[in-house]
């Protein structure tokens, strides 16, 4: 496994810890997670995943930042290497409706695409907003810049349709599901994230997630769909 992803993951977790160490209530919130699996014997397998979520909420303005990294190797050979960073800003028009701007960067060494970048603006609606259930929907337009592993570029207009659902199962258990579809002339990118969180003690909880990334148009010899199943310990701040 390469050293650069390991250093990046460590810095993410250290930064999140320093934010929480101030121990002050305010507009900042989020969580940082880290998961690691090592198998030795007839085969040697290492899997490492990290996630950082930071939110900043003031009155009608809401900022959110997400960063994830997934690395896996077998017998010192890398078998998975995926990174994601997303920034979204929302402005509430009223209690149910908001406008948003979004920038999303994806890099996957073993997919057909070296990287995919999306910039969108649009409108969102809170269809359900209760203590137990939350359901949001978004539609938008924007641009995308992508580069395939063979060096081919795909740039142009794209649309976006997305939704996310949160179910607070109990005081220490939450289920979250998100789905986004970004159609463009060259390719349609679909991403689904299913996540179940369960509290362990205090601000520490366990997270089990299943991620699906699908591209309709890929290079010959590569698959359209990549899936990632991760388990990690997360710390909320």
- Give 206-227 pLDDT, tens digit per residue: 999 999 999 999 999 899 999 9
Q: Is residue 41 part of a domain?
A: no
pTM of the model: 0.86
Q: Is residue 157 part of a domain?
A: yes
Range 1-8, long-range pairs (CB < 8 A, 24+ positions):
1/46, 1/48, 1/71, 1/72, 1/73, 1/78, 2/71, 2/78, 2/81, 5/48, 5/69, 5/71, 5/81, 5/83, 6/48, 6/71, 8/69
CATH code of 228's domain: 2.40.160.40
Residues in contact with 176: Cβ distance below 8 Å, sequence separation at least 6, in sequence order: 164, 165, 166, 167, 193, 194, 195, 196, 197
Domain span at residue 135 reads: 55-67+81-236
Q: Is residue 73 part of a domain?
A: no
Q: Is residue 29 part of a domain?
A: no
Q: Is residue 198 part of a domain?
A: yes
Q: What's the CA gap between 101 and 91, in Å, rounded?
A: 9
Which helix (H) or strand (E) segment holds residue 183: the answer is strand 173-183
Q: Is residue 103 part of a domain?
A: yes
Q: What's the CA gap between 37 and 45, in Å, rounded?
A: 8
Q: What's the CA gap between 80 and 47, in Å, rounded?
A: 9
Q: Is residue 46 part of a domain?
A: no
**Domain count of the fold of the chain:** 1
Give me the chain's average pLDDT, please: 89
- Give 116-134 pLDDT, tens digit per residue: 999 999 999 999 999 999 9
Helices (H), the chain: 3-21
pLDDT band at 74 (very low <50, low <70, confident <90, very high): confident
Q: Is residue 63 part of a domain?
A: yes
pLDDT band at 43 (very low <50, low <70, confident <90, very high): low
* pLDDT exceeds cutoff 80 at 23: no
Residues in contact with 185: Cβ distance below 8 Å, sequence separation at least 6, in sequence order: 156, 157
């Amino acid at each position: 496994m390469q050293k650069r992803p390991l250093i990046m993951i460590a810095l993410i977790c250290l930064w999140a810890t320093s934010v929480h160490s101030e121990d002050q209530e305010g507009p900042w919130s989020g969580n940082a997670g880290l998961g690691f699996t090592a198998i030795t014997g007839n085969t040697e397998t290492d899997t490492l995943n990290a996630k950082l979520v930071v939110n900043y909420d003031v009155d009608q303005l809401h900022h959110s930042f997400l960063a994830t990294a997934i690395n896996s190797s077998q017998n010192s050979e890398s078998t998975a290497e995926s990174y994601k960073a997303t920034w979204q800003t929302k402005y509430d028009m009223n209690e149910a409706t908001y406008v948003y701007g979004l920038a999303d960067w994806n890099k996957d060494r073993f997919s057909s695409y070296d990287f995919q970048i999306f910039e969108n603006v649009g409108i969102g609606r809170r269809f359900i907003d209760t203590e137990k259930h939350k359901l949001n929907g978004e539609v938008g337009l924007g641009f995308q810049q992508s580069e395939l592993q063979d060096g081919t570029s795909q740039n142009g207009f794209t649309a976006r349709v997305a939704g996310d659902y949160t179910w607070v199962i109990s005081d220490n258990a939450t289920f979250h599901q998100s789905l986004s579809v970004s159609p463009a002339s060259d390719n349609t990118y679909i991403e689904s994230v299913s996540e179940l969180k369960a509290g362990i003690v205090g601000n520490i909880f366990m997270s089990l997630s299943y991620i699906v990334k699908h591209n309709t148009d890929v290079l010959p010899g590569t698959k359209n769909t990549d899936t990632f199943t991760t388990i990690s310990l997360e710390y909320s701040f």
